[in-house]
Amino acid sequence: MARTSEFRTLAKLVRRLGLAGFEPVLVGGMALIVYGSSRATFDTDLLTARPRDLAAAKRLMTAVFGAGFDYISKYDADGLPISWIDVPNVAAARVMTDGPDTCFFWNRDAEMRIDLLLDFPLQASGVIQESNSIELAANLRLAVASLEHLAALKEIAVRDRNRPEDALDLAFIRSKLQQ
């Protein structure tokens, strides 16, 4: 991976999540790129465990905010963030009261979006056990979902969203699995 601003920001986030007790696994378009897809994507999807209580939610949000991200609370019609929460404890309370499956974050400096999937739509622990990994920095690795888990995730996306790019992604994954 190139050492871009986004790369450094991702490495900082992964390190902080690990220190907070949340092991992330890369899924989505960026994971497909790791496996050789030419897919273009504008966000990074990380799957991790859902916080079980407010203390865990605070650790999670403190880690994400410490990497320079704010919690996106509203988008405009074009999908650009227009409102966000910039206080970790407020974001943690919102996660615990609203119980979202996915939290969206924006890093203004890197102009980078992270989608944090909280045991959704698969349990993070099972995906991590069968993951591969890439080196982000010295002594820092990031788990990448296996092709089998990426296929399962894309099958869910095709069923639920029925977007053409999901079908193309699934075809790519299936061709890689047949190699």
**Position 60 in a domain:** yes
| pLDDT at 1 > cutoff 50 | no
**Position 176 in a domain:** no
Q: How many domains does the chain have?
A: 1
Instruction: Sort residue 169 into left (φ over 0), alpha (ψ -120 to 50) or beta.
Output: alpha
**Position 172 in a domain:** no
Other Cβ atoms within 10 Å of 148 Cβ, number = 12
**Position 178 in a domain:** no
Cα–Cα distance, 17 to 6 (Å, whole number)? 16
**Full domain range(s) for residue 39:** 5-145
**Position 136 in a domain:** yes
Q: What is the CATH number of the domain that holds 50?
A: 3.30.460
Instruction: Report pLDDT digits (tens) over 111-139.
Output: 899 999 999 999 999 999 999 999 988 88
**Position 151 in a domain:** no
Cα–Cα distance, 169 to 171 (Å, whole number)? 5
Other Cβ atoms within 10 Å of 53 Cβ, number = 9
Q: Under a CB-based contact definition with an 8 Å cutoff, are residues 48 and 116 in contact?
A: yes
120, amino acid identity:
F
**Position 158 in a domain:** no
| pLDDT at 71 > cutoff 90 | yes
**Position 154 in a domain:** no
Q: What is the pTM of this model?
A: 0.94
